[in-house]
Amino acid sequence: MELRTAGLTKQYGSKTAVKRLNVTLTNGVYGLLGANGAGKTTLMRLLCTVQRPTRGEITLDGQNIWRLGERYRELLGYLPQHFGYYPDFTALDFLLYIAALKGIDGKWAEGRSRELLEEVGLSGECRHRIKTFSGGMKQRLGIAQAMLNNPSILILDEPTTGLDPKERVRFRNLISAFSKDRIVILSTHIVSDIAFIAERVMMMKAGEIILLGRPDELTSQINGRVWECSVPTSRAERYAAFLNVSNLRNEENGNTVLRVISEQPPVAGAVRAQPNLEDLFLYYCKEESKP
Ligand SMILES: Nc1ncnc2c1ncn2[C@@H]1O[C@H](COP(=O)(O)OP(=O)(O)OP(=O)(O)O)[C@@H](O)[C@H]1O
Ligand SMILES: [Mg+2]
């Protein structure tokens, strides 16, 4: 399967949320990163046909997705960033309701719903009303509804928001197992959520995809620009104010280890560290994340 965008552009008045994107997505898990307002949600809504582009097009194996219409949407699973739940429905009834809307056969839908509730860790609560759910539980129900029809293209907009560490691990395993021979795109602000499962990382900035590639390839681009240095904890804040710090770790000896993105050694005695995705994100998005 090949999902391709050509000159894809979405404008809201004079604001260009997605700018002339040309990308080709094949089977695998894509992690979509970008600061607030970078255009992640807009891109996902375009890919889901929730919104029409101002210019450009999206094709699946050469066919325009709007022209494919229902045939395309049958292949699609989508978790919007702000998902609307029905507070009085139980978790199971909610999934059955979504399945009915999607035209999924009732008998099959019940089995699939129970299986998914198990997989997202909600089987014990499947008869509870959604209004009694925590934020993380609702989010897991949202993930389950997106996967109901076994979609070949699964698009999840910030699926891990509100998940605790145990549920994050469960989510990663679920997606890894599900993603074989499918296109999975997930956006997140939590880089570690995709570091383990994304075969490809896409980084958006101001409506454009500024990086697309394997995590190890991308992080190797900033080899030599990530440093660790130990400074007295009392002075750590002062350093952090003018350095591009990706992490702070207090040590028991009264020192703090700063992880710094910098072309030159940030202080005397700094040692080079192995870059990770979080460093990469800060390197490319520092203007937005550090005003
Ligand atoms: N309906 C709309 N009307 C006008 N402007 C919009 C609309 N939706 C999005 N935008 C603008 O388009 C840009 C991209 O927004 P988008 O929601 O796609 O970003 P995002 O990367 O998903 O951000 P976040 O990380 O905060 O979810 C922003 O500048 C936003 O203000
Ligand atoms: Mg968004």
The full DSSP string for 202-228 is: EEEETTEEEEEE-HHHHHHTTTT-EEE
CA of 182 to the centre of ligand 2 (A): 22
CA of 227 to the centre of ligand 2 (A): 31
| pLDDT score of 192 | 86
CA of 157 to the centre of ligand 2 (A): 7
Quick one: 15 and 139 in the same domain?
yes
| pLDDT score of 287 | 56
| pLDDT score of 262 | 93
Domain assignment of residue 231, given as a range: 224-274
Quick one: 206 and 229 in the same domain?
no
| pLDDT score of 285 | 81
Quick one: 269 and 188 in the same domain?
no
| pLDDT score of 196 | 85
Torsion of CA 236, 276, 287, 51, to 10 degrees: -140
Helix residue spans in 120-247 (DSSP H) = 135-146, 165-178, 191-195, 215-220, 233-242
CA of 138 to the centre of ligand 2 (A): 18
Asked if residue 117 belongs to a domain, the reply is: yes
pTM of the model: 0.92
Asked if residue 103 belongs to a domain, the reply is: yes
CATH number at residue 166: 3.40.50.300
- Within 6 A (CB) of ligand 1 lie 12, 15, 17, 34, 36-42, 81
Q: For the chain (length 291 residues), average pLDDT per consecutive 10?
A: 98 97 97 96 98 98 97 96 94 96 92 96 96 95 96 97 92 93 95 90 96 95 95 91 91 93 93 94 70 39
Substitution candidate for ligand 1 out of 9, 18, 41 with most atoms within 8 A of CB: 41
Q: How far apart are CA 133 and CA 166, in angstroms?
A: 17
Number of domains in the chain: 2
Quick one: 214 and 230 in the same domain?
no
Ion ligand 2 neighbours, Cβ < 5 Å: 40-41, 81
Atom of ligand 1 nearest to the CA of 18: 14
Substitution candidate for ligand 1 out of 9, 10, 11, 12 with most atoms within 8 A of CB: 12
CA of 134 to the centre of ligand 1 (A): 26
CA-wise closest residue to 79 among 162, 174, 175, 145: 145
